[in-house]
Chain A
Amino acid sequence: MSYSFGEGAPYNSAGGDPRGPVVSMRGISKSFGHVQALRNVDLDLYPGEVVALVGDNGAGKSTLVKILAGVHPQDAGTVTFEGRQVSIPSPAASRELGIATVFQDLALCDNLDVVANLFLGREVGGAVLDEETMERRSWELLRQLSARIPSVRMRAATLSGGQRQTVAIARSLIGDPRVVILDEPTAALGIAQTAEVLNLIELLRERGHCVVLISHNMADVQAVADRVIVLRLGRVNGRFRAPAMSYEDIIASITGVLNLEEGTPEDDIGERGSL
């Protein structure tokens, strides 16, 4: 198992990777009973970019990433990972592919220390754990992320909100994923801690990961996102690209005042600039 970051040169030109997208979703639809959560959504994710998924409550952001995370399968549409069509029936399958998801609740075990949380489910060693290797790798990983954690033997319960978020993100990196999905990573954080997490997101991009960021906070989105995808009532209602995107356009798109997608060809993905 590797804890190192992606090999090769980082791709800073968002969406411009000649190797094409890591993940391509086409025509994704999903219903829960009578509620149509997603209708015919297309999404491409490229290495080394930060894609923000924004939208009002119930717009379908969470449903879309949960399909990638293997929480529930789509009703219609295809997911292509590194050029090959895949099905993602379970969270384990998602992780196997190289998609790491950090949910809003962070899924930390408060009674376990940082090392145990980082390696939860991926412990090093045989039946008997190799604590020294895990502790050493934890230090290295957290140092690479410039994380301010006083001791990796602290219980998760004693960490601050920002530290918890950092540990959760660090944990997602342990399998060296291609795509890291962050669900509202800054929602519960103060100003300084938010800045730390945003720095971390930029660090992930530099390392060549594709970061999918779900956020309600437009300031955060504008600070780090290379592209913004707006979902409204289960449809893509706007696609913007930094630095040309404006706060007003995004908000208009979220609320439905602006509709960029009407009549857009299905395959015109992610290439539309802002107005």
Chain B
Amino acid sequence: MSLGHQQVDDGTADSLRDAFTGLVARLRSGDLGSLPVVAGLVVLAVLFQLLNPRFLAPGNLVNLTLQAAPLGVIALGTVVVLLVAQIDLSVGSVSGLASAIVGVCAMRLEWPMTVGVLVAIAAGVVIGAFYGFLLNRFGVPSFIITLAGLLAFLGVQLALLGADGSINIPFSNPLVQFANAWFLPPWAAYVLVGVGMALMLGSDLAHRRRRILAQLPVSHPSLPIAKAVALTVALCVAVWYLSIDRGTGAMPVLFVLLVVVMSGMLHRTRWGRSVFAVGGNVDAARRAGIPVGRTLVTAFMLCSALAALGGVLAAARLGSATTSSGAADTNLNAIAAAIIGGTSLFGGRGSAWAAVLGVLVISVISSGLTLLNLDSSVRYVITGAVLVLAVIADSVSRRSRLSHGRG
């Protein structure tokens, strides 16, 4: 038997057909990828646009990106914890605590803003490390540990905020400016898209080159180029549309950069491989010599740190840290976003991009219902229903995978 398809550069038709049949086979076996989410997003957008023509207006979409970013950062951390088949129910409280810390550091102690942000993120890292320690040392389910954390850190948040219950951060504060008033000028946004896509194409082609050198089968060179061109066009249209209003916000760009970095860490590094292995089969990972304990601790540390950063961004966006920061629906919205985006509750399946897709769905629903002047009661019910749908989709696709093979 030769090395798979030994011919390194076969005909276009063949490799394109291979790519297509591979895709069909994957879809049939229940591995739907992000297709249902993207389809759902389109349906939701069309629906809300029909109900209120202002929904797809540039101004509303700019607001939507600004509103989505803090929650997206929290959801990104949640994705990592779900990947190792654990859960963190305290991301909301930790984000609220982080916003309180930033408020106290910046306004009461009058420390420089960056110090306040770093202290808040460090608090998140410590909290995550503590969760990981409890999990490894005592084997307490993360569900319970983080439920306890939810209460405890809400208490710390309330104590920090004191009797006033809120700390206002003036609009002139650089952090608040960053979250509300920093927009990339259109040329800079186009340059960013261009550079980003060039880097992606370069990385794809370098990867292809390494495979050719290793005499491994490769796809046709037109595929990565087509992907880069399509994404460039889509992103340029998005930048253009947003620039009709205020433009591309700095905070959403930060979120996407974090996602890109996390995606690289998950799919390219030894650490990322351990994350998927631990989430897929923890006993197998342990027997294979994967440092399971360390992987769990780092996953929780990243999750809490990102939750803290999300809380800081939320406080910045709001211009204040209050007792309701990170309260109520933040927790479930972040977890829902991760799951809706395609991260499996059963562990070992998902990607950093799930946070982007999921948080878009949550934000679209929230923004659309707000435009319709619907009460938050309706919003809760609908978000809950969407979450149930996503979890059902996860379970059904898992069952379909089970019936198409084991696993």
Contacts and interface: CB of A to CB of B under 8 A. Distances in A.
Given A127-B271, A139-B4, A108 B213 contact: no
B283 A111 contact: no
B407 interface: yes
A246 to B, nearest CB: 37
A160 B406 CA distance: 8
A95 B289 CA distance: 10
B324 interface: no
A194 B268 CA distance: 36
Contact of A110 (B3, B270, B280): B280
Interface string B343-378: 000001100000000000000000000000000000
Nearest to B282: A109
Interface in A91-116: 91-92, 95, 103, 105, 107-112, 116
Interface stretch (A76-84, A128-136, A226-234): A128-136
Interface string A121-146: 11101111100110110010001001
Given A107-B284, A109-B280, A157-B407, A129 B289 contact: no
Contacts of B271: 127
A158 B404 contact: yes
Contacts of A95: 289
B273 A133 contact: no
Contacts of A218: none
A155 interface: yes
B407 A155 contact: yes
Range class of the A interface residue count: 35 or more
A132 B283 contact: no
B216 interface: yes
A158 B405 contact: yes
Nearest to A164: B406
B287 interface: yes
A120 interface: yes
A120 B284 contact: yes
A129 B275 CA distance: 14
Contacts of A160: 405
B214 A135 contact: yes
A91 B288 CA distance: 9
A139 B215 CA distance: 11
Contact of A121 (B29, B276, B290): B290
Contact of B273 (A92, A123, A156): A123
A12 B313 CA distance: 69
Contacts of B280: 109-112
Given A110-B280, A132-B216, A139-B3, A158 B29 contact: yes
Contact of A132 (B4, B213, B270, B279): B213
A127 B269 contact: yes
A159 interface: yes
Given A107-B283, A110-B281, A136 B407 contact: no
28 contacts: A91-B287, A91-B289, A92-B289, A95-B289, A103-B287, A107-B281, A109-B277, A109-B285, A109-B348, A120-B273, A120-B288, A121-B285, A121-B289, A121-B290, A122-B289, A125-B270, A127-B269, A128-B268, A132-B210, A132-B216, A136-B216, A143-B1, A152-B4, A156-B407, A158-B29, A158-B404, A158-B405, A160-B405
Given A120-B277, A129-B270, A135-B214, 10 more contacts: A92-B289, A103-B287, A107-B283, A112-B273, A112-B276, A121-B289, A127-B271, A143-B1, A157-B401, A157-B405
